[in-house]
Amino acid sequence: MITVLFFGKLAEIAGAKAELQAVASTDELLEQLRLQYPALAAEKYIVAVDKKTITGNTSLTDHCTVALLPPFSGG
């Protein structure tokens, strides 16, 4: 099971948390999410796997936590 966390505006689109079964990579996961939540396609975000931001496709193992982070706006 892969846990997906959504933050900021993305949490309004997809909810704060989702759980997905049997996804092998972040590309596959994002593809599934875009099918499920078409509004995600228009959003900007970076992806973190187990709290490390990634730049390219990354393979996932069971119990991974993937976070979708829209542009930061703290302070």
| Least distance to another protein, CB of residue 53, Å | 9
| Least distance to another protein, CB of residue 62, Å | 20
Enumerate residues 22-61 that contact another protein by CB under 8 A: 48, 51
State the residue for tokens 């706006």: 73
In contact, 57 and 40? CB cutoff 8 Å: no
The verdict on 71 binding another protein (CB under 8 A) reads: yes
Burial of 56 (0-12, 13-18, 19+ CB in 10 A): exposed
| Least distance to another protein, CB of residue 65, Å | 9
Q: Backbone phi, then psi, for 27, in 5-degree steps?
A: -60, -45
Q: Candidates 6-14, 19-27, 33-41, 54-62 — which segment interacts with another protein by CB under 8 A? A: 6-14
